[in-house]
Amino acid sequence: MNIIETNKLTKRFRRYKKQVGIAGSIKGLIKRDYEEITSVNELDLKIKEGEFVGLIGPNGAGKTTLVKMLTGIIAPTSGEISVFGYYPNDLKNGFKQQYAVVMGQKSQLFFDLTVEDTLRLFKEIYGIPEAEYETAKNFFIELFHVKELMNVQVRTMSLGERMKMELIVALLHNPKILFLDEPTIGLDSIASKQIRGFLKEINETRGTTIILTSHYMEDIKTLCRRSIVINHGSKIYDGDTDQLFERYQIHKKITLTFDIPMELPKLTPGIFVISETPYKKVLKVTKEKTSELLGQLMKYGPSDISVEEEEIGTIVERIYGEGRGSLEEVR
């Protein structure tokens, strides 16, 4: 069953264009010039209950605007939109109880309260019965391993700990849809991995539909079976995540560190040096030559070696560079 449906969903903004200098400011008092910006352009979307969907695109692509329309924060300019059969911008209580939003750069926590008091506050906001609240709270305490943080003031917690609390607050009333906008931004690799594990658990065990926007490829590839690529407000790909990245992920990055100064031999075509010091080498290699290169590099006895995939921004730029036609071929 589709719980989200849009048809030709469009959002346009008017932006004031000020001319340079004092003269421009004075002219702006008399007559203002505006330009129209299309943030989301005739977007068709269908999402089924229980899906884990990734929204991909660079800054300004329209991802956050789309999420804001789906949650009723802003109204569309034109087109049709339905979430659980509701028009989101009506902001009916029955609709607001169905979803939650977590934005990595905006907090809904109360920094002067303890975690326990914060959860109690949201219990009252959502009108959660006491028994149901205790069950949900204990479930998340065990899932996130945060028992020792319950009586800690929010402002004293680390970024990773606060993000766990953001998720607990968002999920406390058992929403059917969870919207996540850059939930791992600023987190280290360990905290990011923990957050991904928690989200996967919530999706699989509770059946929560999750829509995730992220610039971190690992978030999208690990969690989202389906990806939607947005460019200048238009949907240019909607399909299998693995198939998308397999087609457009060309290189891998290899980082080597040595205990003694080391100089590598001349590299073969398809291998590039990103940066180099006597004790550290960072190389870029095509996927096809990765295994071969790793075998050669091990002969030089590195103290540490890591292999990373390309950043999602690089892949998305490549997708945009090739255009809509090649994306149709991927499907």
pLDDT of residue 216: 78
pLDDT of residue 200: 92
What is the pLDDT averaged over residues 281-290? 83
pLDDT of residue 148: 92
For residue range 198-236, list pLDDT tens digits in order. Answer: 999 999 998 999 999 887 777 888 899 999 988 888 998
What is the pLDDT averaged over residues 19-26? 77
pLDDT of residue 56: 87
pLDDT for residue 286 is more than 60: yes
Residues 157 and 137 sit within 8 Å (Cβ to Cβ):
no
For residue range 36-85, list pLDDT tens digits in order. Answer: 889 999 999 999 999 999 998 877 888 889 999 999 999 999 999 999 99
pLDDT for residue 3 is more than 80: yes
Round the average pLDDT of the chain to a whole number and report it: 86
pLDDT of residue 188: 79
pTM of structure: 0.77
Answer positive or negative: Cα dihedral of 150, 154, 158, 160.
Answer: positive
Written as six digits, the tokens of 121 are 């506050």
Residues 43 and 235 sit within 8 Å (Cβ to Cβ):
yes
For residue range 225-279, list pLDDT tens digits in order. Answer: 999 988 888 998 899 998 888 788 788 888 889 888 888 777 777 788 888 888 8
pLDDT for residue 323 is more than 70: no
pLDDT of residue 324: 52
